[in-house]
Structure 1
Amino acid sequence: MSRRCALLTWALLGLGLGLGAPGEEAPGSCCPIVPRREWKAPASKCGEKLQHPVRYVVVSHTGGSHCDSPASCLKQVQNLHSYHSRTLNWCDVGYNFLIGEDGLVYEGRGWDIKGDHTGVTWNPMSIGISFMGNYMERSPPPRALRAAQSLLACGVAQGALSRTYEVKGHRDVQRTLSPGDQLYEIIRTWPHYHE
């Protein structure tokens, strides 16, 4: 386990999130993903599986408030889950993963379950990653961008993402301003980005 991951683990332990002791990372796990149980997600009612390896990744933003600490991001992800499952009546939070400005990745539906993030055409063939916040006028901090890159590398290493996966901005596949002008310009520089 890297020193950075160990420090993040201890920070989360201090908040009562209990991610395990340093040096006890689960096989095939990727740092720094906060599993569903740690953000107190209710059991998912979703069951439609994604076929691996997934070829596409769609990057969006939630468009609301950003969060910059594990405590505020935990609350943000819980609020998003509540909105998606109770207000929209979806089977779970819509995204496969959410990125906080705290530099952590929050597991949504994960690598295996089809999301509700980009419509009927793209949901069955993509992983939906959403940055928590509005990135029209500002960029996510470097630690959030590093967390997203780490997540993508993790997906390839675990066989969930194709080695030749393509990153798309939400606006590339639907009529929307997401992922925001600033974040969109950043992801367009990523090596796997394709319009």
Structure 2
Amino acid sequence: MSRFYVLLAWAFAHLRLAAAQEDQACCGPIVPRREWKATASECNQTLNLPVRYVVVSHTAGSSCNTPALCLQQAQNVQHYHARTLGFCDVGYNFLIGEDGLVYEGRGWNTKGAHTGKFWNHMSIGITFMGNYMERSPPPRALRAAKSLLACGVAQGALSPRYTVKGHRDAQQTLSPGDQLYEIIRTWPQYHE
């Protein structure tokens, strides 16, 4: 009888592993740092995964709607954060372009510099490249963000019960912009 339970436990473990590997394979494309020509990171503080929170912001700068423009914009954001503000790297874990692609910032494992000392150690910061006070990001950018969040859960970087917050919910700011803020407030994981 106990041999049956051992085999059953092994079968369930094998199925869970296969499902997890399949989930990871289903993650949408993330443009790695080397492809957008990021400079080397000097960051060394890791996140304790899985994190419970995702903070959504906007850069409030120029938008980009092609891979070439988004590559340049990701470089611009990194240059501003590292050279002007003195950060160890771009402050966000991920950047979303209007081209529908996700650009790797600090990634899943490294603590960001996106929402202040209280939030950075327990959240992933994703930013939409552009200003979303008066207009909304295109649907492909919103789909990319949702795919990224599902990927984070599948990879164990985000808690399955993660909470989405707008940048303005955590700090005194207009970010992520009025239009994007109204959109994320409709997401099931959003909590003020």
Shift of 1:43: 1.4
RMSD of Structure 2 on Structure 1 (CA): 1.0
Corresponding residue for 2:125? 128
Please give the alpha-carbon distance, in whole angstroms, between the structure 2 residues aligned to 1:95 and 1:177.
Answer: 17
User: Structure 1 unaligned runs (5+)?
Assistant: 1-26
In the TM superposition, structure 1's runs of 4+ consecutive aligned residues that sit over 4 Å from their partners are none
Corresponding residue for 1:104? 101
- Residue 89 of structure 1 is aligned with which of 86, 91, 103? 86
Corresponding residue for 1:33? 30
1:54 aligns with 2:72: no
TM-score, scaled relative to structure 1: 0.85
Corresponding residue for 1:166? 163
Shift of 1:31: 1.7
Shift of 1:28: 3.4
Shift of 1:106: 0.2
Letter aligned with residue 36 of structure 2: W
Please give the alpha-carbon distance, in whole angstroms, between the structure 1 residues aligned to 2:86 and 2:176.
Answer: 23
- Residue 183 of structure 2 is aligned with which of 180, 183, 186? 186
Please give the alpha-carbon distance, in whole angstroms, between the structure 1 residues aligned to 2:56 and 2:184.
Answer: 8
Corresponding residue for 2:138? 141
User: Structure 2 unaligned runs (5+)?
Assistant: 1-22
Higher helix share: 2
Corresponding residue for 1:78? 75
Please give the alpha-carbon distance, in whole angstroms, between the structure 2 residues aligned to 1:28 and 1:78.
Answer: 27
Please give the alpha-carbon distance, in whole angstroms, between the structure 1 residues aligned to 2:86 and 2:61.
Answer: 19
SS in 2 for 1:162: strand
Q: How many residues align?
A: 169
Please give the alpha-carbon distance, in whole angstroms, between the structure 2 residues aligned to 1:133 and 1:42.
Answer: 21
Please give the alpha-carbon distance, in whole angstroms, between the structure 1 residues aligned to 2:62 and 2:35.
Answer: 21
Shift of 1:42: 1.4
Please give the alpha-carbon distance, in whole angstroms, between the structure 1 residues aligned to 2:184 and 2:24.
Answer: 26
Q: Percent identity?
A: 78
